[in-house]
Amino acid sequence: MPTSFPVYNPATEAIIAEVPNGTAAEATAAVDAAAKAFPDWAATAPRARAEILRRAYELIAADIDQLSALITSENGKSEADARAEVLYSAEFFRWYSEEAVRTEGGYGSSPAGGTRTIVTHQPVGIAALVTPWNFPAAMATRKIAPALAAGCTVVLKPAAETPLTALAIADLLIAAGVPEGVVNVVPTASPAEVVTAWLEDQRVRKLSFTGSTRVGQALLEQSARRVLNTSMELGGNAAFVITADADLDAAVAGAMIAKFRNSGQACTAANRFFVHREVVDDFVARFGAAIDKLEVAPLINAKAVAEVSGLVDEAVADGARITHTGPVPATGWYYPATLLTGVHPEARLVREEIFGPVAPVICWHDEQEMLAQVNDSEYGLASYVYAGRLQDALRIAESIEAGMIGVNRGVVSDPAAPFGGVKQSGLGREGAREGLRAFQETQFFSVDFAGA
Ligand code: NAD
């Protein structure tokens, strides 16, 4: 196995770094370090942990220039998107510095009398974290911050495409006062080798994974052998619904964010636009005018460009029409912002996660039929609804099978809100109180209470 692997800049196709290639031995050494650090970290007072997390928030936010430049160079996203990601990723440390000290449990009487029940929350133990390349900072901090708040130590495997950001964050955490061994990053170009070493290690008690449904399913199967505590943040196929009376300017602005942030490489990216037939021509004209001018950031690699292009070609061969495309530079792994109409409901373009800057528009007129189409998907992560009347928006939102719905908004992510999906989009939630509970086990004491 090569001792290092290259990291590319998707905008130039140039190699920007060579990173040591982690092996099973290094994976185990990382668990050794996490195991050594665990007792002290778990026993550290919540306030002391909180203050370290707060310092981590401050250091990450203060380092925005360097961190965002690193994200742009290895992931390709625009400077604005990278800066937004740095602030979003720092917020997880701020939020969980505040949650770390909210340690309440429960105290109650048993119904039969004579005993008391005390409920508490213990750190789950050493947690293995596996993250994707599309948000190299935020997907790591969304796991590290609650894990540390709960008193866990962690081993983290970033995506091979974007290991540099995770390594830079680990350095900032040391500077913030996180003790050695609490956070251990193992980059590798052999993910199965490293992650299998962790899943088979008796000391690892938790797997928190963000990535594709396909890999998540395989890791769930592996985790079943040790009945491992798992959290899964998987793929999506978000619908973006527009009713006849929606504010179209707002809907276009929301659609631009929901579709083109990160060039469409977001699990929450709008994948299918369901537009009411009374406004579909108007929407396509206005959305298309914005797309004509939109210069997107590159996709992550040449394979991603080939995959997106294949989905579009197939839809066009099946009768869809490309109505608008944006400009792209001559070099780099780019695919233009693209708007299509007349897409067949069974097309792969609307059934699979596109993960690129392509917007298929489907015209609807009957709400029940539209909702049946929206819900005819194995995914259920995010969706969006734009409607003139809030009661219509909420009725439609409540009928959509998804963990998160943007109502008259094109973005749902918020560290204080429970992020996650239903169906094959995942198990569990990140962010909010739920994200902390994901790194805790509930324990109760049944107490004989003489005199009760
Ligand atoms: P991916 O599943 O290919 O990779 C995710 C991680 O798993 C990477 O670290 C990768 O190295 C690792 N991995 C790959 N094969 C593995 C194996 N056999 N054993 C162990 N680890 C393995 O996903 P990706 O291409 O990096 O990211 C894109 C996907 O992530 C999309 O499907 C997207 O929707 C999803 N995603 C979901 C969320 C969410 O919160 N639900 C957030 C971001 C991305």
CATH number of 325's domain? 3.40.309.10
Residue 299 lies in a domain: yes
Residue nearest to atom 41 of ligand 1 (CA): 233
Of 77, 194, 215, the one to substitute when testing ligand 1's pocket (max ligand atoms within 8 A of C-beta) is 215
39 and 26: one domain? Answer: yes
Beta bridge partners of 32: none
Which residues are known catalytic residues? 233, 267
Calculate ∠ Cα 221-403-198, nearest 5°: 30
What is the CATH number for 205?
3.40.605.10
- Is 350 within the bounds of a domain? yes
Q: Into how many domains does the chain fold?
A: 2
Nearest CA to ligand 1 atom 42: 267
CA distance 310 to 317: 10
224 in the same domain as 75: yes
- In a domain, residue 205? The reply is yes
In the reported structure, the alpha carbon of residue 211 is separated from the centroid of ligand 1 by a whole-number distance in angstroms of: 2
**Closest to 404 measured CA to CA, from 422, 386, 424:** 422
Three-state SS for 342?
coil
Same domain, 74 and 192: yes
- Domain assignment present for 418: no
416 within a domain of the structure (yes/no)? no
Q: 384, 406 in Cβ contact below 8 A?
A: yes
Q: Which residues span the domain enclosing 99?
A: 4-234+425-446
Distance of alpha carbon 383 from alpha carbon 259, whole angstroms: 11
Rounded to 5 degrees, what angle do the CA atoms 64, 66, 72 make? Answer: 95
Asked whether the beta carbons of 142 and 435 are under 8 A apart, the reply is: yes
Q: What is the pLDDT of residue 250?
A: 98
Instruction: Give the pLDDT of residue 318.
Output: 95
Whether residue 163 is found in the same domain as residue 33: yes
Q: Ligand 1 pocket, 267 CB below 6 A?
A: yes
Tell me if 334 sits within 8 A of 244, measured CB to CB: no
Evaluate whether residue 256 is within a structural domain.
yes
pLDDT at 451: 62
Regarding whether 242 and 222 lie in a shared domain, the answer is no
pLDDT of residue 113: 86
Strand partners, 382: 404
Sign of the Cα torsion 356, 4, 65, 155 reads positive
**Whether 198 and 249 share a structural domain:** no
Q: Longest Cα pair distance anywhere in the chain, in angstroms?
A: 82
Is the Cβ atom of 163 under 6 angstroms away from ligand 1?
Answer: no
The half-sphere exposure of 424 on its side-chain side, counting CA atoms within 13 A, is 17
Contact 311, 279 (CB under 8 A): no
**Do residues 43 and 147 share a domain?**
yes
pLDDT tens for the chain, 452 residues: list them.
Answer: 899 999 999 999 999 999 999 999 999 999 999 999 999 999 999 999 999 999 999 999 999 999 999 999 999 999 999 999 999 999 999 999 999 999 999 999 988 888 999 999 999 999 999 999 999 999 999 999 999 999 999 999 999 999 999 999 999 999 999 999 999 999 999 999 999 999 999 999 999 999 999 999 999 999 999 999 999 999 999 999 999 999 999 999 999 999 999 999 999 999 999 999 999 999 999 999 999 999 999 999 999 999 999 999 999 999 999 999 999 999 999 999 999 999 998 999 999 999 999 999 999 999 999 999 999 999 999 999 999 999 999 999 999 999 999 999 999 999 999 999 999 999 999 999 999 999 999 999 999 987 65
Pocket test for ligand 1, best of 5, 164, 212, 233 (most atoms within 8 A of CB): 212
φ, ψ for residue 385 (rounded to 5)?
Answer: -135, 130
Pick the closest to residue 151 from 131, 185, 126, 169 (CA basis).
126
Does the CA dihedral 224-413-259-422 come out positive or negative?
Answer: positive
- Sheet holding 183-185: strands in order across? 183-185, 154-157, 126-130, 204-210, 229-233, 426-427
The answer as to whether 420 is a domain residue is no
Same domain, 220 and 265: no
Give the model's pLDDT for residue 452: 52
Residues 388 and 437 placed together within one structural domain of the fold? no
Q: Looking at the structure, tell me whether residues 257 and 210 fall in a common domain.
A: no
Q: Are residues 285 and 227 in the same domain?
A: no
Based on the domain organization, do 149 and 39 belong to the same domain?
A: yes
- Own/partner long-range contacts of 214-219 (Cβ < 8 Å, ≥24 apart): 216/426, 217/424, 219/130, 219/195
Radius of gyration, alpha carbons of the chain: 23
Residue 42 to residues 45, 153, 350, Cα–Cα distance (Å): 8, 8, 46
Residue 264 C-alpha to ligand 1 middle, in angstroms?
A: 15
Length of the chain: 452
